[in-house]
């Protein structure tokens, strides 16, 4: 689709440039989120293994995948493990599972995630949280899973137009990738370049 768009509109068209930036940011966000989720899932697996809760690898894999859903994914993933620990080992072990998962989540979300996301994206956690609530309300489960890419797309679209660029700046839109020119630079370059030259 991008090749067809480039051939019809031109590779230096501002909207094509913005879509390229959007695609790269979505892939980057999903990749960075996968790294954080992998650390979270591995931590949950080790924790449950140490506490002798049955099927630790399964709960860790579930934590990895459900952590793509912000805010509610990890509690949903570890809730069955907590119930299993409560049924088999008592309330003390269940409370240890809850405390361990909270510590893992705090370390992953407040230490690792800001470090990675700060290098890749510049959207604030507040914007992502409000976006999660809005898209989950509007689209339900798929909206909760796609909240981050949809919010990135919205910010990039707002950043495209001069009238709404201030909103994108408030939401935390950073400068585009260094190897992708801004749309204004492309337009100015096209205006300065004679028609016979390219």
Rounded-to-integer distance, Cα 116 and Cα 29, Å: 9
Q: 139 and 158 in contact (C-beta within 8 Å)?
A: no
Q: Is 165 domain-assigned?
A: yes
- DSSP class of residue 1 equals -
Burial class (CB in 10 A: 0-12, 13-18, 19+), 132: buried
- Across residues 30-54, what is the average pLDDT? 93
Q: 169 and 156 in contact (C-beta within 8 Å)?
A: no
Higher pLDDT: 82 or 156? It is: 82
Q: Is 6 domain-assigned?
A: no
Confidence of residue 88 (pLDDT cuts 50, 70, 90): very high
Of the candidates 139, 186, 172, the residue with the CA atom closest to the CA atom of residue 20: 186
Kindly give, in sequence order, each residue whose CB lies less than 8 Å from that of residue 123, ignoring residues fewer than 6 positions away: 117, 151, 152, 155, 171, 172, 173
Q: Based on the structure, what is the number of domains in the chain?
A: 1
pLDDT higher than threshold 70 for residue 29: yes
Kindly give, in sequence order, each residue whose CB lies less than 8 Å from that of residue 80, ignoring residues fewer than 6 positions away: 59, 62
Higher pLDDT: 109 or 172? It is: 109
Confidence of residue 198 (pLDDT cuts 50, 70, 90): very low
Q: Is 198 domain-assigned?
A: no
Q: Which domain holds residue 72?
A: 12-188
Question: In this predicted structure, what is the pLDDT of residue 129?
Answer: 81
Q: Is 7 domain-assigned?
A: no
pLDDT higher than threshold 90 for residue 59: yes
Question: In this predicted structure, what is the pLDDT of residue 136?
Answer: 86
Q: How open is the CA angle 59-30-152, to the nearest 5 degrees?
A: 130
Q: Is 193 domain-assigned?
A: no
Burial class (CB in 10 A: 0-12, 13-18, 19+), 86: middle
Higher pLDDT: 42 or 12? It is: 42
Q: Is 80 domain-assigned?
A: yes
Q: Is 3 domain-assigned?
A: no
Question: In this predicted structure, what is the pLDDT of residue 170?
Answer: 82
State the chain's mean pLDDT as an integer: 79
Question: In this predicted structure, what is the pLDDT of residue 186?
Answer: 44
Burial class (CB in 10 A: 0-12, 13-18, 19+), 28: middle
161: phi then psi, degrees, rounded to nearest 5: -105, 135
- Across residues 101-127, what is the average pLDDT? 76
Confidence of residue 195 (pLDDT cuts 50, 70, 90): very low
Q: 39 and 60 in contact (C-beta within 8 Å)?
A: no
Tokens read off for 5: 């768009």
Rounded-to-integer distance, Cα 10 and Cα 197, Å: 15
Question: In this predicted structure, what is the pLDDT of residue 55?
Answer: 94
Q: Is 1 domain-assigned?
A: no
């Amino acid at each position: 689709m991008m090749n067809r768009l480039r051939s019809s509109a031109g590779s230096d068209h501002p909207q094509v440039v913005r879509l390229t930036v959007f695609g790269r940011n979505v892939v980057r966000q999903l990749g960075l989120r996968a790294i954080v989720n992998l650390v979270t899932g591995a931590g949950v697996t080790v924790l449950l293994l140490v506490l002798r809760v049955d099927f630790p690898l399964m709960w860790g894999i579930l934590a990895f995948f459900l952590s793509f859903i912000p805010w509610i994914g990890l509690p949903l993933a570890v809730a069955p493990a907590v119930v299993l620990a409560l049924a088999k080992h008592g309330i003390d072990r269940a409370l240890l599972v809850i405390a361990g998962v909270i510590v893992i989540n705090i370390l992953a979300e407040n230490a690792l995630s800001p470090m990675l996301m700060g290098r890749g994206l510049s959207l604030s956690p507040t914007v992502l949280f409000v976006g999660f609530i809005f898209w989950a309300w509007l689209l339900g489960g798929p909206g909760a899973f796609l909240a981050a890419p949809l919010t990135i797309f919205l910010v990039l679209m707002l950043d495209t137009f001069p009238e709404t660029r201030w909103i994108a700046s408030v939401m935390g839109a950073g400068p585009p990738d260094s190897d992708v020119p801004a749309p204004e630079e492309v337009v100015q370059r096209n205006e300065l370049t004679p028609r016979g030259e390219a």
